[in-house]
Amino acid sequence: MIASWLPTPTHYLLVSAIAVLVYILTTRGQHQRRAPTSAIAWVLGLALVPYLMLPLYLLFGQRKLRPVATPRTGDVEAGHHWAAELIECFGLAPPSLAEVRLHRDGLEARAALWEIIDAAQSRLDVCTFLIGNDPIGAEAIERLTKRARAGVRVRLLLDGFGAVFVPRRFMRRLREAGVEVAVFRPFLSLRRLGPRNLRNHRKFVIADDRWLWSGGRNLAAEYFIDWKGVPAWLDLSFDLRGAIAAEAARQFDLDWTVTTRGQANGTHAPQSTSVSQGSLVQFLPSGPDQAEDTAQSLLVDACYRARRRILAVTPYFVPDDSLRVALRLAARRGVRVTIVLPDESNHRLADFVRSRAMRDLAVAGVEFRLLPVMIHAKALVVDETLAMSGSINLDLRSLLLNHEASVVFYGAHDIAWFAQWIEQQVTQGAAYEAKPPGLMRDIAEGLLLTVAFQL
């Protein structure tokens, strides 16, 4: 006998139909664009297991929010570079000159980080995914509290997931010193804060709207120094003086306002400070708060425009179909496409599912190099025309879900620096050899790619 609490077939079909209808109405009503694999996964899940998938969809299904910039329509005035024109058509700021310092290792990155924090005179804005319970995290807390006690307005924006791991004593010390702390979509909060799968992965330290420290590093030991017998991860960061710092400050202010609902002592209008000489750079935010998938669009366009080389480094490699096709066609045209990855990253699930894209691209001539150490750097070089670095990984979550930010570099010296850095890692890595998967692995990869990385 079927238990009385189990739904009848008719009731089950009704709930399935309602769940699918909710998906259709929200997707159409909010003009949500999804990859075909994502759409298929949601529809099948809602139809087959509606009692589980409908709550998940309502919590995690939204991919785009109200945009903070309005994309331009019609003709875009010809500028310095095709990439600059593309980025400007998203409603973002044009390139500007900046004094650029690229950090060769964690020690240089740490020294620059402490320098910019200590130099803040009136305002210090910090956005990070997490703060480690280690010497780097403790030192960062100490310096932030010191600036706050000196009369500097210090604001710290933490992602809700990363904030779970920040020691409470750190938070207490910050607030006692007068540091304003906001948590972006607290992971365990019951308040209505929007989709919980849209994380803030941006990394900024901005002093007085004129000096920006950014890149891939969080404020934890593994990104800077050897700690407890574990070598520091290979990563990239940089600091810039110029108008681009004000652009990052505007993005920080938007994130801060959304997080605090405009109630945390108000915001301010960042003041741009130009420099007379330096390298041409451009700020590129991406994520659900942008009307377009800005970074994804730039990467795909770059692949089709490349003529000689595409060099990339990323800890996680799970591209969507459009980026994978663009990389494959670039390699078939004779462009040297080289991608550097860790042999084993800190996310084993990402390591497992990346194999499908790597096998497909390796057949087309894409070269993968696997490093024996953890590499957390994110960078791309296209010919001698541009380089890009920041917080964006080459995976579905970074490109299509997370709030991210990068800087596009147009200066010949900066492009050459990133190219040399990546080439140095290439020499340390082992060549990837594609092997046909077994039936069970092939099925498992497909399921994980379709479901896990779309949530």
In this prediction, residue 265 carries a pLDDT of 55
Tell me if 345 sits within 8 A of 318, measured CB to CB. no
In the numeric block, the tokens 């919980």 are attached to 196
DSSP-derived pairing of the beta strands 279-286 and 96-102: antiparallel
In this prediction, residue 116 carries a pLDDT of 98
Tell me if 177 sits within 8 A of 145, measured CB to CB. yes
Q: Give 272-277 contacts, CB < 8 A, sequence gap 24+.
A: 272/209, 272/243, 272/246, 272/247, 273/209, 273/210, 273/241, 273/242, 273/243, 273/245, 273/246, 274/96, 274/97, 274/242, 274/243, 275/97, 275/98, 275/99, 275/241, 275/242, 275/243, 276/97, 277/97, 277/99
In this prediction, residue 42 carries a pLDDT of 66
C-alpha span between 371 and 134 (Å, rounded): 26
pLDDT per position in the chain (455 positions), as tens? 455 555 677 776 776 777 667 666 666 555 566 666 666 666 766 776 776 666 666 655 566 555 655 555 444 455 669 999 999 999 999 999 999 999 999 999 999 999 999 999 999 999 999 999 999 999 999 999 999 999 999 999 999 988 999 999 999 999 999 999 999 988 766 565 566 678 899 999 999 999 999 999 999 999 999 999 999 999 999 999 999 999 999 999 999 998 988 655 556 778 778 888 999 999 999 998 898 899 999 999 999 999 999 999 999 999 999 999 999 999 999 999 999 999 999 998 889 999 999 999 999 999 999 999 999 999 999 999 999 999 999 998 899 889 999 999 999 999 999 999 999 999 999 999 988 888 888 888 777 776 655 54
Residues 6+ apart with CB under 8 A from 148: 154, 174, 177, 178, 179
In this prediction, residue 405 carries a pLDDT of 97
C-alpha span between 334 and 255 (Å, rounded): 42
In this prediction, residue 74 carries a pLDDT of 47
> Is 406 in a helix, a strand, or coil?
strand
Tell me if 200 sits within 8 A of 403, measured CB to CB. yes
* pTM of this structure: 0.86
In the 8-state DSSP scheme, what is residue 350?
Answer: H
